[in-house]
Chain A
Amino acid sequence: MKKIRKLPLSDLIFALISFSAAFVVLTLIFSTIIVLYNESSLAIHKFGILNFIFTVDWDPVNEVFGAAASLYGTLVTTVLSLILAIPLALGIAIFLTEISPHILKTPIGIAIEMLAAIPSIIYGMWGLFTLAPIMAEYVEPMLQKTLGQVPVIGILFQGDPQGIDLFTASVILAIMIVPFITSIARDSLNLTPNIMKESAYALGATKWEVVKDIMIPYAKLGIYGGIVLALGRALGETMAVAFVLGNNHQITTSLFDAAATITVTLANEFTEADTDIYLSSLFYLALILFVLSFVILAVAKFFLLKAERGYSR
């Protein structure tokens, strides 16, 4: 494209206005990290970085704060929800690209994406009033009877199932992130050139072999991107988790215990923080969450861009 050399005044003005809008957007993004750092500087100076991350205590009375419990909760819910969501989401994506009758593809695709449109507060409420009782009544005791008896992983299923715990939170998160993985995986799978699929069929491959050996390797980068994007989403989810996690600052081995994530801690305690160091520590948590999700989302974006470039070649 050629640059237009002489700009009329109206152009100059409009270019200037739209440039300042773009500049404001950039400034907003950068000022987020600066402001968060500035607000948390008190806690950063008092607790340091590694010390803060590895301290389990969260004691507003004695003004000792550490992120370990919140980080642990965030980590466990995110990883568990990914473990639950990935197979389901990939299965749906394969169904939508290869199995579903043509006429059903769009309605089912939209229906799955509707899961992403439901506000997280609805998930939270539904989780608290409907899913948690079901979990406590049926699913968790059942898991205890089966997986709980297995020697090593049995530790994960100890305790008295209440429904308000890490496991329920992860299940809700998994439902929430399925549409993100599904829609990106479906789009990537759809981009597999027909000629490659046809060649494989001509060699006598079954449909599953085509999916497994041709389409998934081809769509690999896109699928990774979708998964990492979902990871970033799960990390920052607040309301859905806030209802069913119980805001309990402890590190537990059992999935059937109440816990806290960074987001839940922020949501529950931000308005209650009465001392400067308390508030500053909360900002510190927000900063950690921001940096963490920013990096993860950047990685996701990297995969997706790379995938895009690969497909267009």
Chain B
Amino acid sequence: MNTKDIYKESPIVKRRKLISFFALSLSTAAAIFGLFWLVFILFDVLRHGIQGINWELFTEDPAPPGIPGGGLRNAFVGQLEIVFFATIMGVPLGILAGTFIAEYARGTKFAKTVSILSDIMVSVPSIVVGTFIYAILVKPIGHINLGGVVAVGFLSAIIAIIFGGILGFIVNKLFSIKNPATGRFINLLITLSSVLFGLFSFLYLMPKLVDKIQGFNGWAGAAALAFIMIPVVLRTTEDMLSLVPWTLREAAFALGASYFRVIKDIVYRAAATGILTGVILSISRVAGETAPLLFTSFNNSYFTMNMNEPIASLTVTIFNYAMGPYEDWHTKAWAASFVITFFILIVTILSRVIISWKYKG
């Protein structure tokens, strides 16, 4: 006997089932529609982009406007350079700040404030970041470049930290210090020398950079991208550090390790994959940013590696070429879009795979 024959479906039940079927079909259609756009866009970028991909695109500089030929070597190199310096500035700062709020300041009001504010900053319009950097690093021409001074100070602080870290590492590897008093003394010496080193690099870099920078410059572009990276890296670091079980730290504390050692040798090691993935994701995020570069690093149709000058980037070049009147420019813009899109997609998918492999499997 069929189950359907046990009771007769009342019209109300039939109607409810019909509504359910209809609504669920609609939501399936929504999913297909969403996927349709992704395929549409990617296929379109692929179709147009593949025509412009050739060896000259990477090895030659642009031809004069309107003349076919040439490549986008300047933009590729400029993009790499800007993103590289943005990473150098943004990643250490983000990781350190994330470490502070996840470890030393765990659970405090300060940590919560920084965390929530960075969460908001992750989504703040990137063009606003561009205007901010323009105001502090591009606009002040002639009179005192306060933003430049701050930026150089910031750069030398990072140099000092890296220097101190390397020095401490070398001293630790070369000598095994048993006496805690000597150890403390040597730590003090390392700190002092890295502070001095930072001061010297500040004094050395000041005239080299601040006075030379006139108007749009590559540093400003890198700073704008770093500004966008910092909250992303900070939040990932914080999340990844809080995933490390507290008992792991307690075990190390019980062995008499200082908190610094615990962070350095236990927590960082446990969270390394996660933090690295976050860094890679943040790089792929800023690699496609255009708006903050429009009026910081601007554009340059010539090849340059000098960050003190306006410097070409792929994204701004795409913008200018796509808006331009020449067919050849459009082809190049599509080719550049193709490269950038598939770079970002591959990096994003890879890091997602790494995360799910590390944290779920």
Contact assessment for A289 and B128 in the assembled complex, using a CB-CB cutoff below 8 Å: yes
**Chain B residues within an 8 Å CB radius of A263:** 125, 127, 291
Across the interface, A92 reaches (CB within 8 A) one of B27, B318, B337, namely: B27
- Beyond contacts A15-B104, A88-B34: 6 other A-B pairs, Cβ-Cβ < 8 A, are A38-B135, A96-B31, A114-B348, A117-B348, A236-B125, A301-B116
Residues in B258-278 with C-beta less than 8 Å from chain A: 258-261, 263
What's the minimum C-beta distance from B189 to chain A, rounded to whole angstroms? 11
Interface residues of B (CB under 8 A from A): 16-17, 19-21, 23-24, 26-31, 33-35, 37-38, 41-42, 44-45, 48, 92-94, 96-97, 99-101, 103-107, 110, 113-114, 116-121, 123-132, 134-136, 139, 154, 157, 161, 184, 187-188, 191, 227, 230-231, 234, 246, 253, 258-261, 263, 284, 287-291, 294-295, 298, 315, 318-319, 322-323, 330, 333-334, 337, 340-341, 344-345, 348-349, 352, 356
**Chain A residues within an 8 Å CB radius of B337:** 121-122, 125
Bound-complex Cα distance A173 to B298 (A): 25
* A205-242 Cβ-contact flags toward B at 8 Å (1 or 0): 01111011000000000000000010011011111001
**Chain B residues within an 8 Å CB radius of A95:** 27-28, 30-31
**Chain B residues within an 8 Å CB radius of A242:** 319
Q: Say yes or no for A111: interface residue by CB 8 A criterion.
A: yes
- 25 example contacts (A-B, Cβ-Cβ < 8 A) are as follows A1-B106, A4-B259, A15-B259, A18-B103, A22-B101, A24-B97, A25-B230, A29-B118, A35-B136, A91-B26, A99-B27, A114-B349, A118-B344, A118-B345, A121-B337, A178-B34, A206-B17, A208-B24, A211-B23, A235-B125, A238-B126, A267-B294, A283-B135, A290-B124, A294-B124
**Chain B residues within an 8 Å CB radius of A19:** 100, 104-105
A interface bracket (residues with beta carbon within 8 Å of B):
35 or more
Q: Say yes or no for A129: interface residue by CB 8 A criterion.
A: yes
Contact assessment for A237 and B125 in the assembled complex, using a CB-CB cutoff below 8 Å: yes
Contact assessment for A29 and B187 in the assembled complex, using a CB-CB cutoff below 8 Å: no
Contact assessment for B290 and A239 in the assembled complex, using a CB-CB cutoff below 8 Å: yes
Closest B residue by C-beta to A19: B100
Contact assessment for B260 and A130 in the assembled complex, using a CB-CB cutoff below 8 Å: no
